[in-house]
Amino acid sequence: MTSDVVVLPGRRAGTWSPLPLYTSRVAEERGATVHRHEWGGHAPEPAGVEYVRGEVTPLLDELGGRPLLIGKSLGTNAAALAAERDLPAIWLTPLLHLRPVVAALDRATAPFLLIGGTADGSWDAAVARRLTPHVFEVVGADHALSVPGPVAASIAVLVRVVQAVGEFFDEIDWPRF
């Protein structure tokens, strides 16, 4: 059985940036086919749920089935689509300071993993833990999940993120979910 994964970038970091790249590689190791979406032109400011819906809906319609979504920052606005279509997801540095994103996550019935850092203004640990039991939080990490100190410390965070994604897949029995 082949599972599809749709990777949605942030505003500045594309799907080949470290967080979405290595998160999706964990899915590939489990036999998934990865589809990387890049935003069409420059996303408007502010770009929200409706912009992301317009960008992502055609791809989801084309794929059919129940792909897993991996979204970074701006891509987490796809939580509304995930809730509507009962899609599992991994949200990297989700925009938990935005009411529409939190409301969509609140409606979700499929499992999702939230990954964020305590030095990120978009992260809200209390909200994250209220929304899902699947939370990976990095103390001192910013919106890129970088931590102060030597670059190796931030690379170590990336390793821990990859491990957390694998554990999440095991917990929800994905891709058989």
Which domains does the chain show, CATH number per domain?
Answer: 4-172 (3.40.50.1820)
- CA separation for the pair 154, 138 (Å, rounded): 10
Q: What is the pTM of this model?
A: 0.96
Output the DSSP codes for 45-77: SS--HHHHHHHHHHHHHHH-S-PEEEEEGGGGG
- CA separation for the pair 115, 135 (Å, rounded): 6
Angle formed at CA 46 by CA 67 and CA 70, multiple of 5 degrees: 20
Can you say how many angstroms the Cα of residue 68 is from the centroid of all Cα atoms in its chain? Answer: 10
φ, ψ for residue 2, nearest 5 deg: -95, 130
Q: What DSSP element (H or E) covers 112?
A: strand 112-117
pLDDT at 44: 63
- Token couple for 55: 């960008």
Average pLDDT of adjacent 10-residue blocks, the chain of 177 residues: 88 91 97 94 73 94 96 96 98 97 98 98 98 98 97 98 98 89
pLDDT at 47: 73
